Amino acid sequence: MLGLLRHGMPERDGGRMPAHHRRPEQGGIKTDDMEEKRNNKEIKVRLHHIDRGNCTEVWEVQVEDGKPARYLGRDDGFGPKEWYTLCDAPYGYCERDCHVKEDITLVICDKAWNEVLRDGMDRERFPESFPSLDEACNDAWSKLVNGLPHVTRCGFREWITKQSFLPLNQTEALNWSDCYYEEETSEVLSRFTWIGEEYAIYRVTQRHTKCDARWYEYYAGKTKRREHEGYVRFFAYEFRDRHISDILRTLGRRCDDISNAVVETRYSKDGPAMSYFMDDFIGYDLSYEQVCDVKEPRLRKAQEDYNEANAYYYKLKENEESIRGIEAVLLLMRRQIHPKVTLK
């Protein structure tokens, strides 16, 4: 009203209004406070999803019934965390339009629209925006990692590929390391909260489905995940080279499996005959000679693994307790491997 009066009434006495047009002063209310309250508009928002491809958090704005949906975006990750309006949200390109005005207060809510904290673009009122999910996960992980001396992000592919008893080409090696495994168990190591929702650091035991290898993977994820909902952040692996006695026992079982297995040929009415050995596809319309030679590369790989284990055994020979009984296992393995394969 005051602003309207200033523009709507004629100016007199050097710009001052006549006394009878002036508003009486109200005790205890400052016009600066009124102006600030009027300018600082509040908007409630809650997280809709995180667009990892665009490094953007997509936030849903609470609107009145019948009003069109509106969405805001915030930088995801470790940048300045600026707020802006979005076009084509929430499931389109989520393009950034313009920055949110500094006089707007964003009330950050949980899924049920309960206030958790406040933020905005005015860095005098909000000197630092709240952490992104990645930052919150990294902070929780940093409190644990010093107590996990064997975790690493390096060397896993090389380690898991060595567990194969067959030579692998590039595609087979990728499938071996990235596809043939399943989660056995998961253990919560710590918990933390982000925007009113509980998350945890997990130690996940993975089991390879083509061999007997097991290892740990460390993740961050929600404690209440929906069905088929994955973890939100991967941190590290934990794997260890097995003791030589474990390797030899595995090689022995593998040699038995190879010796006892037979080639299975499956026929169809219109297509070629397909041959499988130990559940692995080995080719179409194989000749008798090709079928007879199927075991050869597998036993050759077993020989290479045996030679490697045998060399390692001699390095440990001074430690009698560590290698007790292994010589007998090595002798048995010589008898298990195919007669065509010469052991050195």
What pTM does this model have?
0.65
Structure tokens at 207: 């089991």
Domain ranges across the chain:
39-120, 136-238, 244-336
- Say if residues 63 and 69 touch (Cβ distance below 8 Å): yes
Structure tokens at 249: 């026992």
Encoded amino acid at 88, one letter: D
Coil, helix or strand at residue 159: helix
Contact partners, residue 159, CB within 8 Å, separation at least 6 = 239, 241
pLDDT in tens, the chain (344 residues): 334 333 343 344 444 444 444 444 444 434 344 344 445 699 999 999 999 888 899 999 999 999 999 999 998 877 789 999 999 999 998 999 999 999 999 999 999 999 999 999 999 999 999 999 999 999 999 999 999 999 999 999 988 988 886 778 899 999 999 999 999 999 999 999 999 999 999 999 999 998 888 999 999 999 999 888 999 999 999 998 765 566 666 767 777 777 788 888 888 778 888 888 887 888 888 888 888 888 788 777 777 777 776 666 665 555 554 544 555 555 565 566 544 444 44
Coil, helix or strand at residue 264: strand
Structure tokens at 176: 């071996």
**Helical H runs in the chain?**
2-8, 31-39, 133-142, 156-161, 170-178, 244-260, 288-292, 295-315, 320-323, 326-336
- Say if residues 54 and 34 touch (Cβ distance below 8 Å): no
Q: How many CA atoms lie within 13 A of 165 on its CB side?
A: 24
CA dist., res. 195 & res. 118, Å (int): 11
